Amino acid sequence: MPTILTSVRAFQRLDSRGKPTVQVEVETKDGKFRAIVPSGASKGDYEAIELRDGGEAYGGAGVRQAVQNVREVIGPALLDRRYDLEIGLKEIDSFMIALDGSPDKSDLGANAILGVSMACARACAAAKKIPLYDFLAGELQSSPHRYIVPVPFFNVLNGGVHSGNTMTFQEFMIAPTGAASIAQGIQWASEVYQALKSIIIKEFGKVATGIGDEGGFAPPITQPSEALDLIMAAVKAAGHEGKIKIGIDPASSEFFDDGYYDLGFKSDKPKKLTSTELADLYRALVDKYPVVLLEDPFAQDDWESWKYFHVVSKLHNVELVGDDLLATNIMRIEKAAEADACDSLLLKVNQIGTVSEALAATERAYELGWSVFVSHRSGETTDDFIADLAVGIGCGHLKAGAPCRGERVAKYNRLMDIEEELQAKKIGSSYAGKSFRYAHSQAKSE
């Protein structure tokens, strides 16, 4: 007896910024399976299009049209097709891509399509009677030979378009690579986060402990070195020196204009840098602090700067991650590979709009010898899908915000559940730790 969809429902719900988003619930004989779609603020130009209603309700951010597209177009068409969920997700996703017919999912909406894709992934896993991470691993041709629990990169200081302070760079992340398990890594990160709070209170007063969109603090600082000094002091105060590395996402497309990077874009004083000057700034930061990962240091179409800086990042052993640059899109990945512009794919399922295409992008990145870094969005929900995704593809690291705020900790809590589940079943797994960057290729070659 095949397992088929018996209903597909959709609803308008809220994300962590209080903005509307799409929730989908599909039903099979195994039960009901739900997914809620995230949304970015520093969106790239090459992302699939999420439909927003415009008009007055919710300041134009409503998703009633996307919800209606699931209810009236995608849902009925899928019910008609009677796909067997035990076979997998690819057929369903390909059908939705064809049904939409546009190159960027702007017809039915990436938010509509992705909600169905994620909910169906859960239904497929249930049909096969396996956990979601196992199902996702099986959908990947080059699935790892053992379970790898990813190193979380916690965004503890928020800037850019995610906060109200004058910090230009968007994200400063701590990565407990020296921990022995994810439970220990999460504990250390939480301790550093609390130490950081105490330091911020001492330096700037209690009023400065407000947080940004991803749960990190947003004290009144501007310079990246101020952020990194605060973090290093917190790591020391928490007693974890040498065991925690740093990742930075400047999200530089947000402050690139007319050939210059304006580090003063959040204040009334412009501070325009050429890409060479910005590269020098990165180089100085990488020399001084334990930075292991740099994401979107240059704007999404500033190819020459990416190419130049990739030579530098390789010398410094820093992972160079393309977010807006790649938009989880295979065509952009090919372009970047040809230009040798970066060596890591930031994987955001809603940038491309189906789970299967996100897995195909992963596959291609692995073929190229790249790393893959799974990511949440700044507008999140308590949906913990990406925790299973990171384990399933064995990519060794993910970012899901600070160890704070429900929609962020949902992912970290799920990862601890998975770690314990694997331990209880006596299934071999390992925390990626220092091998986070090439965890997948190492596991493949064992």
Q: Which residues are identified as catalytic?
A: 214, 348
Total interface residues for ligand PGA by CB under 6 A = 11
What is the C-alpha to C-alpha distance for residues 197 and 234, in angstroms, rounded to an integer?
A: 8
Are the beta carbons of 23 and 10 closer than 8 angstroms? yes
Q: Which of 14, 41, 237, 416 binds ligand PGA (CB under 6 A)?
A: 41
Q: Which stretch binds ligand PGA (CB under 6 A): 19-27, 40-48, 83-91, 352-360?
A: 40-48
The single-letter code of the amino acid at 174 is I
Q: Does 25 help bind Zn ion (rule: CB under 5 A)?
A: no
Considering only residues 245-264, where is the footprint of ligand PGA by CB under 6 A? 249, 251
Q: Which residue is nearest to ligand PGA (CB)?
A: 40
Token look-up 């597209």 returns 69
> Is 272 marked as a binding-site residue?
no
What is the C-alpha to C-alpha distance for residues 364 and 248, in angstroms, rounded to an integer?
A: 24
Q: Which of 395, 400, 356 shows the shortest CA–CA distance to 372? A: 395
Q: Which of 5, 37, 40, 114 binds ligand PGA (CB under 6 A)?
A: 40
Q: Which stretch binds ligand PGA (CB under 6 A): 37-45, 203-211, 334-342, 358-366?
A: 37-45
Question: Could you give the strand order of the β-sheet that contains 272-273, starting from the edge strand earlier in sequence?
Answer: 256-257, 260-262, 272-273
Considering only residues 277-296, where is the footprint of Zn ion by CB under 5 A? 295-296
Considering only residues 424-443, where is the footprint of Zn ion by CB under 5 A? none
Are the beta carbons of 393 and 136 closer than 8 angstroms? yes
Q: Does 397 help bind ligand PGA (rule: CB under 6 A)?
A: no
The single-letter code of the amino acid at 325 is L
Partner from ligand PGA, Zn ion, none binding residue 375, C-beta < 5-8 Å depending on class: ligand PGA
Are the beta carbons of 136 and 356 closer than 8 angstroms? no
Q: How far is the CB of 436 from Zn ion (least distance, A)?
A: 17
Q: Which of 100, 191, 249, 383 binds Zn ion (CB under 5 A)?
A: 249
Are the beta carbons of 357 and 93 closer than 8 angstroms? yes
> Is 399 marked as a binding-site residue?
yes
Q: Taking the CA of residue 79 as centre, how many other CA atoms within 13 Å lie in the half-sphere pointing to its CB?
A: 14
> Is 378 marked as a binding-site residue?
yes
Q: Does 266 help bind ligand PGA (rule: CB under 6 A)?
A: no
Token look-up 């600082």 returns 221
Q: How far is the CB of 344 from ligand PGA (least distance, A)?
A: 12
Q: Taking the CA of residue 331 as centre, how many other CA atoms within 13 Å lie in the half-sphere pointing to its CB?
A: 7
SS3 391: helix
What is the C-alpha to C-alpha distance for residues 71 and 8, in angstroms, rounded to an integer?
A: 7
Q: Does 130 help bind ligand PGA (rule: CB under 6 A)?
A: no
Q: Does 323 help bind Zn ion (rule: CB under 5 A)?
A: yes
Where do runs of H (alpha helix) occur along 214-329? 224-237, 275-288, 303-315
Q: How far is the CB of 249 from Zn ion (least distance, A)?
A: 4
Q: Does 53 help bind Zn ion (rule: CB under 5 A)?
A: no
Concatenated DSSP letters of 374-390: EE--SB--S--HHHHHH
Q: Which of 16, 117, 362, 375 binds ligand PGA (CB under 6 A)?
A: 375
**Residues annotated in the binding site for Mg(2+), as ranges?**
249, 295, 323
**Residues annotated in the binding site for substrate, as ranges?**
162, 171, 295, 323, 375-378, 399
Interface with ligand PGA (CB under 6 A): 40-43, 170, 249, 251, 323, 375, 377-378
**Residues annotated in the binding site, as ranges?**
162, 171, 249, 295, 323, 375-378, 399
